[in-house]
Amino acid sequence: MDGTTLRAAILVTVLLLAPLLALMHRRSGSPRRKLPPGPVPLPVVGHLHLFKKPLHRTLARLAARHGVVLGLRFGSRSVLVVSSAQAAEECLGAQDVAFANRPQLPSGGILSYDWSTMGTTNYGPYWRHVRRIAVTEIMAAHRVDHFADVHVREARAMARGLFHAARGAMGQRARVELKSRLFELLLNTMMGMICEKSHHGAGSVTIDAGVREEARWFREMVEAAMTLSGASTVWDFLPAALRCRWLDVGGVGRRLWRLRESRTKFLQGLIDEQRKEMEKGEEGRRRKMIGALLSMQHKDPEACPDQLIRSLCISSFEAGTVTSADTIEWAMSLLLNNPEVMLRAREQMDACIGEPLRLLEATDLPNLPYLRCIIMETLRLYPPAPLLVPHESSADCTVGGFYIPHGTMLLVNAFAIHRDPQLWHEPASFVSERFEDGRNGDKMVIPFGMGRRRCPAEQLGMQMVGLALGTMIQCFDWERVEQDLVDMTEGSGQTMPKHLPLEAFYQPRASMALHLPRIE
């Protein structure tokens, strides 16, 4: 929603609801309690007028001015923003249960099938049921190992596609826009895990125009979901009158419902296809996520209906594509700006694999600590969810000595915590060595959240990112397109994309020339 639309919404809101202001601000007669400090809110809209993109930087500036425990109002909703490791530990450590709920934002109600996904549902029996299924079928250590062949296959398919594109450049450097390639790679990876279907041919020498269009459509669908939902979207906090169908300021509601319909059609198509294949007796399908869930459904239809399968699938697709692609793109941007770091990672990789060189395997990752340091430093500087996924208090509590009423939305500014100069030396600099030999392991780095609502897919995500990034480093020499450093400006939304997609020059390494043409 742009500034003009927001100003119009504020004006309409004030005109509609001004007569109610006196009632809203009437004193309850109860003793005053010490609330978190913050800027003076406007009537009705609160602090929505302060929304400047990217929101995580705006909130960091407000915290620097008012305090690391900050009180705001997004419309009529009370919001607590914490921007220090101590405050985050208090909320998601000592008071983890009190902040285990999720705010029931309107956009989430539309896109997550009435808040039924693992990331949007409130803490309780249903959440435990969904999480148990997700961990068992996707994220447990044995399942991560089981999917390693898919991760390796798709990373190599991308390398094959890049190799053939470079060969078409007649031995010269080839130029590539990485975000599209990375998204296709990760979409293929997730399709392989979910239903054993390599969907978009990221490694093909020539990619069918229809396939490329389908990949573009899916990417736009996922990115739209990230943009239209979450705490960074003003629409979620407007009064209901401005979100109803006959007014729908900015048309956000209509876009959300169209997006839900498209996603439902896509996901249900995958489920129906897998059901038909399993009815034919293809046992291999049961090894993949949808097949395993359909087997559970066959035993107990009420415990695993199609809607739950759709919820688990869309959560996996969103977490496994956009956020992982963003992380790899940020890592490559940092490496292009620091080529000596890329060289050191490659040298460790070559030494680990030995002679003759072979292509990277998942089993090599534990023996590549410097690659992991690069990924951790990337996640510190550019966490995929800079404000984490919002929490909500289920009971009155106290944070930093301030009273927090139940129903308060909690935003943990991981971006600010990861760059806190009181915690980190040169906090804005890319220093991958800071994580070597377990150093700084006691400092808070929370790209996957913390507490009982921590993302359980950390090991899976690290394997996918490690194999993709490691394969790119191992197989190709990379250079910046311009002499100037890569632009590191952040985009906006629920995640943290780059403002400008990364383009780079690359050439196949001479030592890999025998391997790349034979990748299967």
375-396: pLDDT as tens digits: 999 999 999 999 999 999 999 9
Range of the domain at 333: 3-11+31-518
Helix (H) / strand (E) containing 157: helix 148-167
pLDDT at 231 over 50: yes
- Cα separation of 256 and 393, whole Å? 26
pLDDT digits (tens, 9 = 90+) for 353-363: 987 788 999 99
Stated length of the chain? 520
- Cα separation of 218 and 375, whole Å? 26
Average pLDDT in the chain: 87
Q: CA torsion sign, 241 to 244 to 246 to 251?
A: positive
pLDDT at 207 over 50: no
User: Is residue 17 a part of any domain in this protein?
Assistant: no
8 Å CB contact between 331 and 285? no
pLDDT at 9: 57
pLDDT category at 250 given cuts 50, 70, 90 is confident
pLDDT at 209 over 70: no
User: Is residue 19 a part of any domain in this protein?
Assistant: no
Flag whether 455 is marked binding: yes
User: Is residue 22 a part of any domain in this protein?
Assistant: no
> Could you tell me the two tokens for 143?
């399942």
Q: What percent of the chain has pLDDT over 70?
A: 87
pLDDT at 21 over 60: no
User: Is residue 496 a part of any domain in this protein?
Assistant: yes
The alpha-helical segments, DSSP class H, found in 280-395 are: 289-299, 306-320, 322-337, 339-353, 369-381
Task: Provide the b/e sequence for 222-244 (b: ≥16 CB within 10 Å).
Answer: bbbbbbbbbbbbbbbbbbeebbe
Least confident residue range of 201-205, 271-275, 283-287, 364-368:
201-205
pLDDT at 212: 62
User: Is residue 23 a part of any domain in this protein?
Assistant: no
User: Is residue 24 a part of any domain in this protein?
Assistant: no
8 Å CB contact between 290 and 139? no
Give the CATH number for residue 496. 1.10.630.10
8 Å CB contact between 427 and 380? no
Phi, psi of 170 (to 5 degrees): 60, 45
> Could you tell me the two tokens for 31?
């003793």
pLDDT digits (tens, 9 = 90+) for 60-85: 999 999 999 999 999 989 999 999 99
8 Å CB contact between 130 and 311? yes
User: Is residue 355 a part of any domain in this protein?
Assistant: yes
pLDDT category at 28 given cuts 50, 70, 90 is very low
User: Is residue 230 a part of any domain in this protein?
Assistant: yes
Sorted by sequence, the CB contacts under 8 Å of residue 411 that are 6+ apart come out as 59, 79, 80, 81, 82, 231, 387, 388, 390
Which amino acid, residue 384?
Answer: P
The alpha-helical segments, DSSP class H, found in 31-147 are: 55-66, 85-89, 106-111, 125-134, 141-146
- Cα separation of 340 and 242, whole Å? 53
Q: What does DSSP assign to residue 266? A: H
pLDDT at 142 over 80: yes
pLDDT at 169: 64
- Cα separation of 500 and 182, whole Å? 15
pLDDT at 204 over 70: no
pLDDT digits (tens, 9 = 90+) for 503-519: 999 999 988 877 776 65
Instruction: Report the 10 Å Cβ neighbour count for 493.
Output: 22
How many structural domains compose the chain?
1
